[in-house]
Chains A and B, each alone.
Chain A
Amino acid sequence: MSRVSPLSQATLTLSRTRHSLAPWARIAGLTVCALLTLGPVIWTLSTSLRTPAESFDLPPRIIPADPTVDAYRGVFDQIDVWLLALNSTLVTALIAVGQMITAGLAGYAFARLEFRFKKPLFGLVLATMMVPLQVTIVPVFLVLKSMSLTDTLLGLIIPAFPTAFGTFLMRQYFLGMPKDLGEAAMLDGAGPWRIFRSVYAPLATPGLAIVGVLAFNYHWNEFFRPLILETSGQNYTLPLGLVSLQGNLGTGSISVVLAGVVLSMIPAVAVFLVGQRPLREGITSAGVNR
């Protein structure tokens, strides 16, 4: 395919300049799209800093005329933000750590250990990636009920530990590591556990980071399972608390609701800023391998 002669190179440059006449128009269009994409978030932030009287001003004032953090005080007065944040943090952190452990171990077993029924077991894991959560939620609810785990945080956490996608990702990750490392350690007399513990596990951090960041992003924002499983307010997570806050207040205290939304976004945005790369890789490969 690569048959570009110097002459054609010249034609190419010519045609490039001729047909990229309006790169500024393309960039202007992209800028408008980027503003439309970020607009709702910017509006949320600025409205949360305005007085309720200013909330509905049109055109919306991006820089509040009279910035105030009253709405943020209001959120803390009206809902127990600390409790919601604590619940969300506990659930999300434990699921993320749990998934890194289960996916790391199972991924390693599928990649580097020999045992019977390896293929069918891996097939089983892959097949469950296709099963939507909503299809299994009724029996899952009943299973949890029989364990007395409905309306507890553990009921959200434990079923989320096994991760088919994470297992798949970690298997790929371990397969990408040179086999010689383990063989060398074996010749040195290391057993299977030592080989895992001292040779391969330390190299798995970047893969585990993808699993962890992805789990964090998904479960921090999760709504469907908490809505079904958590019935008493003391077990609500942030998204659940915010939706019910909005429902209770109607349209009256819009800036209070928006302040709550901003607060709940902070950890997700922090992960976006720090871990954008693993997040991007994770989201695309999670989608592709679903």
Chain B
Amino acid sequence: MTDTQIQAPPRPPAPAVTAPRPSARERGTRLLAALFLAPTIVGIVVFTVVPIVGSVVLSLFHWNVIDSPSFAGTANYREMFTDSTVLVSFRNTLVFMVFAVALQLLIALTLALAVNGRMPTWLRSVFRSAFFFPLVLSAASISVVMKYLFNQDFGVVNWLLGLIGIAPVPWLTSENSAMAAVVLVYVWQQFGFSFLLFVGGLNNIPKEIHEAAALDGATGLRKHLNVTLPLLSPTLLVASVVGIINALQVFEQPYVLTNGGPGDATRTVVMVIYESAFEQLRFGEASAVGVLLFVLIMAVTALQFRLSRRFVHYQ
């Protein structure tokens, strides 16, 4: 994780001491451990463990904070499957996830392979910094900027497209292109993360393997498909798992760019959680959606690790 070298400081010769009583020392160690762990463990229990249980419990109630909660059983879950907004939000989120993750991985992998080729070191670090830079910006603020860039009439995106003869796209005002805009803005900010993972993964592939592949006549695209990709598959797995988990939680981009619209075209699951809890005060319904999202995320992760046992090639 870090390459800092730690060296033992020179220490004075040990004075002859009596061996410490083990029980006292053990008690001291335990006390210290309890003190050291208390902030983290108490915090995690209060702000993660209790809320998870709380989410499940809340999802079984109708509650608007003002009146006392009333038991709903599985009603909130059953209603989800008839509530068109909730259904659409799950569909949107899955569509978003597929396109965003695929595009993100494709761009990141292509750029990582390109950056990995021969070039001056300074140029490589310039490229690496450039691709990494959007990650340090605020997704909300950058979405504000992107809203102007994707404007149909005076936005720079349509002007650029016009240069290559493409008619202005109603990015944020038509159902299909609104989702495309959200995907593009998200990918623009996120691909740098997968890119960093791939650059790291490529660096871990021993040079000899490439040389051996070159000896066997594998070059260019064929070398990448048959040699690089299989060796990169553990990194690919990590990048796609993390990419999917993050994409399923998308919020800032659609909230700022389209506010879920036009209609419900870009309303995502997290937007529905936010709106039903904090705008409509339907805490039970919001919790049920949250629990389902959690289950979905767990399922995707589990599935991916199952698949990986078959397809990922570990050296």
A residues touching B (Cβ–Cβ < 8 Å)? 1-4, 8, 11-12, 15-16, 19-20, 23, 26-27, 29-30, 33-34, 37-41, 43-44, 56, 58-60, 101-103, 105-106, 108-110, 113-116, 121, 124-125, 128, 130-143, 158-159, 161-164, 167, 169, 172-173, 176-178, 180-181, 184-189, 191-193, 196, 203, 206-207, 210, 217, 220-224, 227-228, 238-240, 242-243, 246, 251, 254, 257-258, 261, 264-265, 268-269, 271-272, 276, 279-281, 283-285, 287-288, 290
Of residues 111 through 161 on chain B, the ones whose CB sits less than 8 Å from some CB of chain A are 111, 114-115, 117-119, 123, 126-127, 129-142, 144-149, 151, 154, 156, 159
- In the complex, B287 has a CB within 8 A of chain A: yes
- In the complex, B47 has a CB within 8 A of chain A: yes
- In the complex, B14 has a CB within 8 A of chain A: yes
8 Å CB contact of A121 from B15, B41, B196, B274: B41
A125 adjacent to B138 (CB under 8 Å):
no
Q: Which residues of B contact A257 (CB under 8 A)?
A: 144
B40 adjacent to A143 (CB under 8 Å):
no
A-B contact pairs, 23 of them (CB 8 A): A2-B206, A4-B208, A26-B114, A37-B130, A43-B145, A102-B40, A106-B41, A114-B29, A132-B297, A139-B55, A143-B51, A161-B43, A162-B42, A162-B44, A162-B47, A173-B2, A176-B1, A178-B6, A178-B8, A186-B20, A189-B17, A221-B141, A283-B135
A261-B145 contact, Cβ under 8 Å, with A11-B215, A60-B156, A192-B28? yes
Closest to B185 in A: A40
Q: Which residues of A contact B252 (CB under 8 A)?
A: 223-224
Closest to A4 in B: B211
Question: Ordered nearest first, which 7 A-B pairs have the shortest CB separation?
Answer: A162-B43, A139-B54, A221-B138, A139-B51, A136-B51, A106-B40, A223-B140
Complex Cα distance, B130 from A206, in Å, reads: 24
- In the complex, B305 has a CB within 8 A of chain A: no
Complex Cα distance, B146 from A29, in Å, reads: 23
Interface size class of B (residues with CB under 8 A): 35 or more
Closest to A29 in B: B114
CB distance from A183 to the nearest CB of B (A): 11
A288 adjacent to B140 (CB under 8 Å):
no
Complex Cα distance, B27 from A191, in Å, reads: 11
CB distance from A193 to the nearest CB of B (A): 6
Q: Which residues of A contact B174 (CB under 8 A)?
A: none
CB distance from A149 to the nearest CB of B (A): 11
B residues touching A (Cβ–Cβ < 8 Å)? 1-2, 4, 6, 8-9, 11-12, 14-15, 17, 20, 25-26, 28-30, 32-37, 39-44, 46-52, 54-55, 58, 107, 111, 114-115, 117-119, 123, 126-127, 129-142, 144-149, 151, 154, 156, 159, 188, 192-193, 196-197, 200, 206, 208-209, 211-212, 214-215, 219-220, 238, 242, 245, 248-249, 251-252, 256, 270, 273-274, 277-278, 283, 286-287, 290-291, 293-294, 297-298, 301
CB distance from B153 to the nearest CB of A (A): 9
B293 adjacent to A135 (CB under 8 Å):
yes
B20 adjacent to A189 (CB under 8 Å):
yes
Q: Which of B33, B192, B274 has the most CB of A within 10 A?
A: B33
Closest to A3 in B: B212
Q: Which residues of B contact A29 (CB under 8 A)?
A: 114
8 Å CB contact of B28 from A4, A110, A136, A191: A191
Q: Which residues of B contact A261 (CB under 8 A)?
A: 141-142, 144-145
Complex Cα distance, B283 from A287, in Å, reads: 30
CB distance from B311 to the nearest CB of A (A): 19
A288 adjacent to B238 (CB under 8 Å):
yes
Complex Cα distance, B146 from A56, in Å, reads: 14
Q: Which of A8, A27, A206 has the most CB of B within 10 A?
A: A27
Q: Which residues of B contact A59 (CB under 8 A)?
A: 159
A136-B55 contact, Cβ under 8 Å, with A40-B146, A114-B29, A131-B294? yes
Complex Cα distance, B123 from A242, in Å, reads: 35
Q: Which residues of B contact A121 (CB under 8 A)?
A: 37, 41
A40 adjacent to B51 (CB under 8 Å):
no
A138-B283 contact, Cβ under 8 Å, with A2-B208, A173-B1, A287-B242? yes
Complex Cα distance, B115 from A29, in Å, reads: 10
8 Å CB contact of B111 from A33, A173, A239: A33
Complex Cα distance, B264 from A18, in Å, reads: 53
Q: Which residues of A contact B242 (CB under 8 A)?
A: 287-288, 290
Q: Which residues of B contact A3 (CB under 8 A)?
A: 208, 212
8 Å CB contact of A188 from B11, B49, B132, B286: B11
Q: Which residues of A contact B145 (CB under 8 A)?
A: 40, 43-44, 258, 261
Q: Which residues of A contact B154 (CB under 8 A)?
A: 56, 58
Q: Which residues of A contact B130 (CB under 8 A)?
A: 34, 37-38
CB distance from A225 to the nearest CB of B (A): 11
B188 adjacent to A37 (CB under 8 Å):
yes
Closest to A142 in B: B54
Complex Cα distance, B145 from A158, in Å, reads: 31
Closest to A267 in B: B136
Complex Cα distance, B154 from A254, in Å, reads: 12
Q: Which residues of A contact B20 (CB under 8 A)?
A: 186, 189
